[in-house]
Protein backbone atom coordinates (compact mmCIF):
# COMPACT_ATOMS: atom_id res chain seq x y z
CA UNK A 1 0.00 0.00 0.00
CA UNK A 2 1.23 3.48 -0.89
CA UNK A 3 0.64 5.34 2.37
CA UNK A 4 1.95 8.63 1.00
CA UNK A 5 -0.38 8.81 -1.97
CA UNK A 6 -3.35 7.90 0.19
CA UNK A 7 -2.42 10.59 2.74
CA UNK A 8 -2.01 13.15 -0.04
CA UNK A 9 -5.45 12.34 -1.49
CA UNK A 10 -7.03 12.58 1.96
CA UNK A 11 -5.31 15.92 2.60
CA UNK A 12 -6.50 17.31 -0.74
CA UNK A 13 -10.05 16.06 -0.11
CA UNK A 14 -10.03 18.12 3.08
CA UNK A 15 -8.73 21.17 1.22
CA UNK A 16 -5.53 21.45 3.23
CA UNK A 17 -2.04 22.46 2.12
CA UNK A 18 0.98 20.49 3.30
CA UNK A 19 1.85 23.41 5.55
CA UNK A 20 -1.62 23.50 7.13
CA UNK A 21 -1.51 19.77 7.84
CA UNK A 22 1.99 20.07 9.26
CA UNK A 23 0.88 22.88 11.58
CA UNK A 24 -2.06 20.84 12.84
CA UNK A 25 0.22 17.92 13.70
CA UNK A 26 3.22 19.93 14.88
CA UNK A 27 5.34 18.49 12.07
CA UNK A 28 7.39 20.14 9.36
CA UNK A 29 6.10 20.77 5.85
CA UNK A 30 9.16 18.95 4.49
CA UNK A 31 8.27 15.86 6.55
CA UNK A 32 4.72 15.88 5.10
CA UNK A 33 6.24 16.22 1.61
CA UNK A 34 8.55 13.24 2.22
CA UNK A 35 5.64 11.18 3.57
CA UNK A 36 3.45 11.93 0.57
CA UNK A 37 6.23 10.86 -1.79
CA UNK A 38 6.80 7.67 0.22
CA UNK A 39 10.40 8.72 0.91
CA UNK A 40 9.93 8.23 4.66
CA UNK A 41 7.51 6.38 6.91
CA UNK A 42 5.68 7.77 9.92
CA UNK A 43 5.57 6.09 13.30
CA UNK A 44 2.21 4.59 14.18
CA UNK A 45 1.56 7.43 16.65
CA UNK A 46 2.44 10.06 14.03
CA UNK A 47 0.20 8.40 11.45
CA UNK A 48 -2.66 8.29 13.97
CA UNK A 49 -2.16 12.03 14.67
CA UNK A 50 -2.12 12.81 10.95
CA UNK A 51 -5.29 10.82 10.35
CA UNK A 52 -7.06 12.45 13.29
CA UNK A 53 -6.18 15.85 11.82
CA UNK A 54 -7.64 14.68 8.52
CA UNK A 55 -10.87 13.45 10.12
CA UNK A 56 -10.04 9.76 9.77
CA UNK A 57 -8.59 6.91 11.81
CA UNK A 58 -6.30 3.91 11.35
CA UNK A 59 -8.97 1.24 10.64
CA UNK A 60 -10.67 3.41 8.02
CA UNK A 61 -7.37 4.40 6.43
CA UNK A 62 -6.15 0.83 6.07
CA UNK A 63 -9.41 -0.58 4.78
CA UNK A 64 -8.27 -1.97 1.45
CA UNK A 65 -11.65 -2.29 -0.20
CA UNK A 66 -12.40 0.60 -2.54
CA UNK A 67 -15.97 1.41 -3.45
CA UNK A 68 -17.19 -0.40 -6.52
CA UNK A 69 -17.04 1.83 -9.58
CA UNK A 70 -18.57 -0.25 -12.39
CA UNK A 71 -21.77 -2.28 -12.15
CA UNK A 72 -22.97 -4.99 -14.51
CA UNK A 73 -25.80 -7.43 -15.00
CA UNK A 74 -25.02 -9.42 -11.86
CA UNK A 75 -25.52 -6.26 -9.77
CA UNK A 76 -28.93 -5.30 -11.18
CA UNK A 77 -32.10 -6.15 -9.26
CA UNK A 78 -35.15 -6.59 -11.50
CA UNK A 79 -38.77 -6.29 -10.39
CA UNK A 80 -41.54 -7.15 -12.79
CA UNK A 81 -44.58 -5.03 -12.06
CA UNK A 82 -48.09 -5.68 -13.44
CA UNK A 83 -48.94 -1.94 -13.27
CA UNK A 84 -46.20 -1.35 -15.83
CA UNK A 85 -48.12 -3.53 -18.34
CA UNK A 86 -45.51 -6.11 -19.26
CA UNK A 87 -42.83 -3.88 -17.84
CA UNK A 88 -40.19 -3.91 -15.17
CA UNK A 89 -38.02 -1.75 -12.98
CA UNK A 90 -34.29 -2.37 -12.86
CA UNK A 91 -32.31 -1.04 -9.89
CA UNK A 92 -28.98 -0.33 -11.56
CA UNK A 93 -26.85 0.13 -8.44
CA UNK A 94 -27.08 -2.36 -5.57
CA UNK A 95 -27.86 -0.80 -2.20
CA UNK A 96 -28.45 2.58 -3.88
CA UNK A 97 -30.94 3.50 -1.17
CA UNK A 98 -28.01 4.22 1.14
CA UNK A 99 -26.57 6.66 -1.42
CA UNK A 100 -27.65 10.21 -2.21
CA UNK A 101 -29.22 9.27 -5.53
CA UNK A 102 -30.90 6.19 -6.91
CA UNK A 103 -30.87 5.43 -10.64
CA UNK A 104 -33.40 2.98 -12.04
CA UNK A 105 -34.35 1.85 -15.53
CA UNK A 106 -38.13 1.77 -16.03
CA UNK A 107 -39.59 -0.28 -18.88
CA UNK A 108 -43.34 0.02 -19.52
CA UNK A 109 -45.62 -1.61 -22.02
CA UNK A 110 -48.41 0.36 -23.74
CA UNK A 111 -50.78 1.76 -21.10
CA UNK A 112 -48.35 1.01 -18.28
CA UNK A 113 -47.64 3.45 -15.50
CA UNK A 114 -45.50 3.66 -12.40
CA UNK A 115 -47.07 3.75 -8.96
CA UNK A 116 -47.82 7.29 -7.87
CA UNK A 117 -45.09 8.59 -5.57
CA UNK A 118 -45.96 11.01 -2.77
CA UNK A 119 -44.29 14.43 -2.48
CA UNK A 120 -40.85 14.28 -0.87
CA UNK A 121 -37.65 16.25 -0.45
CA UNK A 122 -35.12 16.09 -3.25
CA UNK A 123 -35.10 16.09 -7.02
CA UNK A 124 -36.11 13.80 -9.88
CA UNK A 125 -34.42 13.48 -13.25
CA UNK A 126 -35.23 11.23 -16.17
CA UNK A 127 -34.14 10.57 -19.74
CA UNK A 128 -36.38 8.78 -22.23
CA UNK A 129 -34.34 6.12 -24.03
CA UNK A 130 -37.22 4.86 -26.20
CA UNK A 131 -40.91 5.55 -26.66
CA UNK A 132 -42.96 8.42 -25.28
CA UNK A 133 -44.07 9.01 -21.71
CA UNK A 134 -46.33 11.43 -19.92
CA UNK A 135 -45.01 12.71 -16.64
CA UNK A 136 -47.76 13.60 -14.19
CA UNK A 137 -46.84 16.02 -11.39
CA UNK A 138 -49.89 16.98 -9.35
CA UNK A 139 -52.38 18.57 -11.78
CA UNK A 140 -49.74 19.04 -14.46
CA UNK A 141 -48.98 16.52 -17.24
CA UNK A 142 -46.20 16.84 -19.82
CA UNK A 143 -45.27 14.62 -22.76
CA UNK A 144 -41.63 13.53 -22.98
CA UNK A 145 -40.34 11.83 -26.14
CA UNK A 146 -37.29 9.72 -26.95
CA UNK A 147 -34.02 11.63 -26.38
CA UNK A 148 -35.75 14.21 -24.17
CA UNK A 149 -35.31 14.54 -20.43
CA UNK A 150 -37.29 15.80 -17.46
CA UNK A 151 -36.35 17.35 -14.15
CA UNK A 152 -38.52 18.47 -11.25
CA UNK A 153 -38.75 18.90 -7.51
CA UNK A 154 -41.30 16.35 -6.25
CA UNK A 155 -43.58 18.78 -4.41
CA UNK A 156 -46.74 16.97 -5.55
CA UNK A 157 -47.74 13.35 -6.21
CA UNK A 158 -46.03 12.15 -9.39
CA UNK A 159 -45.82 9.21 -11.78
CA UNK A 160 -44.84 8.20 -15.31
CA UNK A 161 -47.33 6.89 -17.86
CA UNK A 162 -46.49 5.21 -21.17
CA UNK A 163 -48.14 7.58 -23.64
CA UNK A 164 -47.18 5.62 -26.75
CA UNK A 165 -48.20 2.44 -28.54
CA UNK A 166 -44.95 0.58 -27.92
CA UNK A 167 -42.64 -0.21 -25.05
CA UNK A 168 -40.92 2.78 -23.49
CA UNK A 169 -37.67 2.84 -21.52
CA UNK A 170 -36.73 5.63 -19.10
CA UNK A 171 -33.59 6.15 -17.06
CA UNK A 172 -34.92 7.73 -13.84
CA UNK A 173 -32.78 9.15 -11.04
CA UNK A 174 -34.22 10.18 -7.70
CA UNK A 175 -32.51 12.00 -4.88
CA UNK A 176 -32.84 11.09 -2.12
CA UNK A 177 -33.66 7.48 -3.00
CA UNK A 178 -37.36 6.78 -2.94
CA UNK A 179 -38.00 3.77 -5.17
Q: Where are the domains of the chain?
A: 3-61, 73-175
Calculate mean pLDDT across residues 82-97. 82
CATH class of 73-175: mainly beta
pTM of the shown model? 0.65
Q: What percent of the chain has pLDDT over 90?
A: 69
Give all strands (DSSP E) within 16-145, no chain letters: 77-81, 87-91, 102-108, 123-130, 132-137, 140-145
Q: Do domains 3-61 and 73-175 have the same CATH topology?
A: no
So what's the architecture of 3-61 in CATH?
Orthogonal Bundle (1.10)
Q: Read off the pLDDT of each residue in 4-22 and give the average, rounded to a whole number.
A: 92
Q: pLDDT tens across 39-70, in order?
A: 999 999 999 999 999 999 898 888 766 677 88
Tens digits of residue pLDDT in 133-170: 999 999 999 999 999 999 999 999 999 999 999 999 99
Q: Is the dihedral of CA 144, 146, 148, 149 positive or negative?
A: positive
Amino acid sequence: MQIGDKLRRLRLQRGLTQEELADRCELSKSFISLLERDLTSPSLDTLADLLESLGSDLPTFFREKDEKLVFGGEDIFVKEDPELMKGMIRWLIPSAQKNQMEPILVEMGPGGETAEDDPHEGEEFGYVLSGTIRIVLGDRAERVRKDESFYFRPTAPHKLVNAGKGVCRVLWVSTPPSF
